Amino acid sequence: MFDKDTLAIIGDGECGYESAVSPPIFQTSTFGGGGEYSYTRLSNPTRSQLERELASLERGSYALAFSSGLAALNTLLSTLSQGDRVLLSDDLYGGTYRMAANIFSRFGISFEFVDPSDPNAVENAIDANTRMLFVESPTNPMMKIAPISELARICREGSVLLAVDNTFLTPYFQNPLLLGADIVLHSATKFLSGHHDTVAGALVTDNEPLYEKLRLATVTLGNALSPFDSWLTLRGIRTLPLRMERHQKNALSVAEYLQSCDWVEKVIYPGLPAHEGHSLCASQASGFGGVVSFTVKDTKTVKKLLAGGKIIKFAESLGGFRSLITYPLTQTHASIPEAMRNRIGITEKLLRLSLGLEDENDIKQDLELMIKS
């Protein structure tokens, strides 16, 4: 088995078509000749190439690529039936919450929120109708760490599928399937594609019957990734190892810098030894990622930071080459009810930084200038 650095480069080991080193984009909706491919909604060679590479990077057997992270999620949830119950991380991407609360709950699927860092609470929440536990680790935006192996054991005993959203750490730093998870979800919009130019998603699993169900679902729902976006994601993956190392280096450096700033109240980054989940994260992943959340002492500081600097841009999303600052309260987590936001800690003082690939000292200087403005 190749190292992950090599896997990102050589993919599944063969590109096939006329020995092209970069795989071609099969920009066609339909195929004649009655061969393996017939219609791009069902399958497409460029997308298949990406799916093979995603499976190999996640150390799984099967992968599917979708038109967004949320398209991956709606396909996963579409395998459930009326009366089924799902446990969700109480701290998670706002769009995931919205899909559960506003769409699937109308079809008789019920959702309950649990703290994924508390295995006893998870175990107690499982009942006869519970079909799935869906967690992020680290969570977005509070960066809580879930004990994936322990949750996998609890889920197996209860015949519950464990799904892990691995967007923040990517397969470069964490492989939830190797820790016992049944399914991995990605917003490939973020680190996997990495260039702020693609919206994409993925599911990876070792469970063949589940994969067949998911494949039939995406073909039926019609939400698979386009050939061009599959190609962009493949291109992003080639530099994933290099980028993740740099994102992480910048994140740790900026997290340490923020800790030293008198206008900062608290820095939340699992790479800091003081973080509650630091050693757990280190035990199940090989890195801590490129996202840092923090709270400020005075809400007036928020305005200065959101005005943006010369480097850091105020924008949604994360995981690209450019450093971005996000205000979860009004952006990514606006759809979460106020009481729940307050309980989790998504307050008017919370900000989230996705560290890009710029020079770490320039980023820190940019923050300094924003505060002085």
Ligand X SMILES: *Cc1c(COP(=O)(O)O)cnc(C)c1O
Min separation Cβ 324 and ligand X, Å? 12
| Active-site residue flag, 41 | yes
Least CB distance to ligand X at residue 198 (A): 9
Q: Verify whether residue 215 is a known catalytic residue.
A: no
User: Of residues 91, 115, 165, 366, which has the active-site annotation?
Assistant: 165
| By the rule CB under 6 A, 167 interacts with ligand X | yes
Shortest distance in whole angstroms from residue 345 CB to ligand X: 17
Q: Please report, as residue ranges, which positions from 54 to 93 form the binding site for ligand X (by CB under 6 A).
A: 68-70, 93
Q: Is 313 annotated in the active site? A: no
229 binds ligand X (CB under 6 A): no
Pairing of strands 183-187, 201-205: antiparallel
* The one catalytic residue among 47, 85, 131, 190: 190
Phi-psi region of 172 (alpha: psi -120 to 50; beta: other; left: phi over 0): alpha
CA atoms of 241 and 10, how far apart (whole Å)? 13
- Name the active-site residue from 37, 62, 93, 327: 93
Residues 369, 355: Cα–Cα separation, whole Å: 17
- Which listed residue (175, 187, 226, 248) binds ligand X by CB under 6 A? 187
Residue from 51, 84, 136, 229 touching ligand X (CB under 6 A): that is 136
Distance CA 229, CA 233 (A): 6
Judged by CB under 6 A, the residue of 199, 240, 255, 351 near ligand X is 199
Tell me whether residue 138 or residue 241 sits nearer to ligand X (CB atom).
138
Asked if residue 326 binds ligand X (CB under 6 A), the reply is no
The neighbouring-strand residues paired with 324 are: 313, 354
CB of 159 to ligand X, least distance (A): 25
Beta carbon nearer to ligand X, 54 or 264:
54
Q: Which is nearer to ligand X, 281 or 370 (CB)?
A: 281
Q: Does 171 bind ligand X (CB under 6 A)?
A: no
- Kindly determine how many residues on this chain lie close enough to bind ligand X according to the rule CB under 6 A: 15
Span from 156-164, 185-193, 307-315, 360-368 in contact with ligand X (CB under 6 A): 185-193
Instruction: Return the residue nearest ligand X (CB atom).
Output: 69
| Interaction of residue 95 with ligand X, rule CB under 6 A | yes
Give yes or no: 297 in active site: no
The CA distance from 304 to 275, in Å, is: 26
Does 165 bind ligand X (CB under 6 A)? Our answer is yes
Residue among 189, 253, 293, 301 that touches ligand X (CB under 6 A): 189
CA distance 47 to 49: 5
Catalytic residues: 41, 93, 165, 190
Q: Which residues bind ligand X (CB under 6 A)?
A: 68-70, 93, 95-96, 136, 140, 165, 167, 187, 189-190, 199, 201
